[in-house]
């Protein structure tokens, strides 16, 4: 039986825990005395506790994040009730800051703050080899990334087949955006490129096709970015897919030339814009050149097959609905395939709290600590924006209604205002934001277009039917009479997302 169980609760099964694999890889001589146990947040806490205790461990280490802290707290409380002598060690961003007053911290024996890749092993050695007790709160020194053992071999064959494979070529972020924990990760530390690419080759040899880079600023260091892109371009094959987070205003000609060579659908860029308002950007210490950003978007959409996922945030200090709407319209004109409308979260440790008094920032007291109201956005308005974000995800980001969506604001000045009208109408009509079948969304969109927006019946029906049938697995759809079909089972839709990168 292992002495150490490394555990975490993932948001979904497909999310393999990258942090857990780093901890396991860097246990050194303790690795043979440890095992990993991954769960998901919708599992019953007692089932998780039972599975952990079957290993009869002496130490259990938990990775704690904003999405799992409530469920993990319940699991830790049960473990301590059943096995009081069991040593619980916590780590992760949710318990790395503002530890006082956290229920889960009170329950645990030790908390390692910061990057615990190396420190966790040190603490376990001390606990297992002597009676000496480390302090409750233990600050981890920033590890030298090139001295860390690689975690990639700890992806199992089942992981490679069924789960997202996370990789990183660097850690940290050079920017100081006050809403983001990455602003605290200074300096940026790069892994040795040669060693990193050797690890990527081994993953490719094992059949990995989709790589999700977690680097906060993939395109920060030009030689490294070019080396990684060239590596994958030289080895490109059908189904290969790369996801990067990028700095939106930094895309020099050398990178552009490489990006243009990838086939449609092979690369996705996640681009954090967050706001187009200059005053708001200053409030949150965010620096970006909007002219260069727009030029880069035009290049990516007009000259490459890159899929762009762009982020905007509702509720930043000093930004109201009108300002956000202007930024949203500006982004729509740049035509990214996805616009993620996020609601501001007050992450522990981030300096955005300095605006609380001046801008009347009121956050929910429980995870994910979303903003409830500000000086510039009342609670009812914030609720409308939450519905806007949800419906936008279902209608626009799903890729199911690409052409039909254009009818919504055709000949109208503001896509934001028109989609807000649709969002308000949809909320009154359906009275829910979740568990909405795809054919119900299609019918609702059709009804709104012809009844509320004055779109020609035949044009709306023809456009919506064309969107519907872009996915071959769907049954027949007729909107000229009434809705008569629904989408086929999920098993027949497995490849839709990847196909959407190509179709748009």
CATH number at residue 248: 3.80.30.20
For residues 412 and 455, give the distance between their C-alpha atoms in angstroms, rounded to a whole number: 12
Residues 188, 129 share a domain: no
Q: Which residues contact 61 (CB under 8 A, 6 or more apart)?
A: 4, 5, 6, 7, 23, 88, 89, 90, 91, 120, 124
Q: Does 355 share its domain with 473?
A: no
391, 423 Cβ separation under 8 angstroms = yes
Range of the domain at 250: 155-377
Would you say residue 393 lies in a domain?
A: no
Give, for all 504 residues of the chain, the pLDDT tens digit.
899 999 999 999 999 999 999 999 999 999 999 999 999 999 999 999 999 999 999 999 999 999 999 999 999 999 999 999 999 999 999 999 999 999 999 999 999 999 999 999 999 999 999 877 899 999 999 999 999 999 999 999 999 999 999 999 999 888 889 999 877 766 789 999 999 999 999 999 999 999 999 999 899 899 999 999 999 999 999 999 999 999 889 999 999 999 999 999 999 999 999 999 999 999 999 999 999 999 999 999 999 999 999 999 999 999 999 999 999 999 999 999 999 999 999 999 999 999 999 999 999 999 999 999 999 999 999 999 999 999 999 999 999 999 999 999 988 899 999 999 999 999 999 999 999 999 999 999 999 999 999 999 999 999 999 999 888 777 777 676 554 344 443 333 333 544 544 555
CA–CA gap between residue 332 and residue 289 (Å, rounded): 18
For residues 362 and 446, state if they share a domain. Answer: no
Residue 327 belongs to some domain of the structure = yes
> In 10 A of CB 475, how many CB atoms?
12
Total Cβ atoms within 10 A of residue 380: 9
- My answer on whether 306 and 352 are in the same domain is yes
CA distances from 411 to 37, 79, 392 (A): 55, 61, 20
For residues 368 and 461, membership in a common domain is answered with no
Rounded CA-CA distance 15/40 in Å is 9
- Measure the CA–CA gap between 434 and 456, rounded to whole angstroms: 29
Helix (H) or strand (E) holding 257: helix 253-259
Residue 388 lies in a domain: no
Q: Are 276 and 333 in contact (CB under 8 A)?
A: no
Q: Does residue 34 lie in a domain region?
A: yes
387, part of any domain: no
Q: Is the dihedral of CA 163, 164, 170, 174 positive or negative?
A: negative
Q: Is residue 382 part of a domain?
A: no
Same domain, residue pair 312 and 450:
no
Residues 218 and 127 in one domain: no
User: End of a domain among 342, 377, 412?
Assistant: 377
242 and 286 share one domain: yes
DSSP state at residue 216:
S
Last residue of a domain, one of 377, 410, 442: 377
CATH number for the domain spanning 25: value is 3.40.50.280
Shared domain for 212 and 325, answered yes or no, is: yes
At 242-287, the pLDDT tens digits run 999 998 899 999 999 999 999 999 999 999 999 999 999 999 999 9
The answer to whether 201 touches 167, Cβ cutoff 8 Å, is no
Residue 150 lies in a domain: no
The answer to whether position 264 is within a domain reads yes
Distances (CA, A) of 9 to 14, 21, 41, 298, 370: 12, 14, 5, 40, 21
| Residue 110, burial from CB neighbour count under 10 angstroms (0-12, 13-18, 19+) | buried
> Do 268 and 120 reside in the same domain of the chain?
no
Which of 377, 409, 426 delimits the end of a domain?
A: 377
Shared-domain flag, residues 337 and 194: yes
Do the beta carbons of residue 9 and residue 41 sit within 8 Å?
yes
Domain count, the chain: 3
Q: Are residues 372 and 416 in the same domain?
A: no
DSSP string, 395-451: IIITSSSHHHHHHHSTT-S-HHHHHHHHHHHHHHHH--SSS--HHHHHHHHHHHHHH
């Amino acid at each position: 039986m292992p002495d150490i169980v490394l555990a975490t609760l993932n948001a979904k099964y497909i999310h393999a825990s990258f942090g857990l694999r780093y901890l396991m890889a860097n246990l050194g001589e303790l690795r043979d005395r440890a095992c990993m146990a991954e769960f998901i947040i919708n599992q019953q806490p007692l089932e998780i506790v039972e599975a952990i205790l079957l290993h009869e461990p002496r130490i259990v280490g938990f990775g704690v994040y904003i999405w799992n802290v409530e469920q993990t707290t319940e699991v830790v409380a049960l473990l301590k009730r059943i096995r009081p002598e069991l040593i619980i060690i916590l780590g992760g961003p949710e318990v790395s800051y503002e530890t006082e007053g956290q229920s889960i911290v009170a329950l645990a024996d030790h908390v390692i703050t910061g990057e615990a890749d190396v420190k966790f092993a040190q603490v376990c050695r001390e606990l297992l080899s002597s009676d000496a007790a480390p302090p409750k709160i233990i600050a981890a020194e920033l590890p030298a990334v090139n001295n860390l053992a690689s975690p990639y071999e700890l992806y199992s064959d089942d992981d490679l087949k069924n789960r997202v494979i996370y990789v990183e070529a660097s850690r940290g972020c050079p920017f100081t955006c006050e809403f983001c924990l990455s602003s605290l990760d200074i300096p940026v530390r790069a892994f040795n490129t040669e060693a990193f690419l050797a690890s990527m080759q081994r993953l490719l040899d094992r059949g990995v096709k989709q790589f999700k880079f977690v680097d906060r600023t993939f395109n920060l260091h030009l030689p490294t970015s070019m080396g990684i892109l060239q590596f994958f371009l030289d080895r490109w094959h059908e189904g290969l897919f790369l996801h990067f987070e990028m700095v939106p205003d930094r895309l020099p000609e050398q990178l552009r030339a490489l990006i243009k060579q990838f086939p449609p659908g092979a690369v996705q860029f996640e681009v954090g814009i967050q706001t187009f308002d200059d005053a708001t950007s200053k409030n949150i210490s965010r620096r970006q050149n909007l002219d260069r950003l727009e030029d880069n978007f035009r290049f990516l959409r007009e000259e490459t097959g890159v899929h762009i996922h762009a982020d905007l945030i509702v509720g930043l200090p000093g930004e109201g609905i009108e300002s956000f709407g202007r930024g949203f319209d500006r982004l729509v004109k740049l035509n990214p395939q996805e616009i993620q409308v996020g609601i501001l979260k007050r992450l522990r440790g981030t300096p955005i709290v300095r605006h609380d008094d001046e801008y009347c920032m009121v956050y929910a007291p429980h995870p994910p600590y979303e903003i409830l109201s500000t000086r510039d956005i009342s609670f009812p308005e914030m609720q409308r924006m939450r519905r806007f974000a949800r419906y936008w995800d279902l209608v626009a980001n799903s890729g199911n209604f690409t052409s039909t969506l254009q009818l919504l604001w055709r000949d109208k000045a503001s896509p934001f205002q028109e989609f807000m009208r649709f969002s308000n109408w949809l909320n009154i009509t359906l009275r829910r934001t979740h568990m909405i079948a795809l054919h119900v969304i299609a019918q609702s969109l059709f009804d709104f277009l012809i009844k509320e927006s004055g779109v020609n019946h035949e044009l709306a029906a023809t456009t919506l039917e064309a969107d519907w049938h872009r996915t071959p697995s769907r049954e027949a759809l007729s909107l000229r009479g009434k809705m008569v079909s629904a989408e086929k089972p999920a098993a027949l839709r497995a490849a839709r997302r990847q196909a959407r990168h190509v179709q748009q």
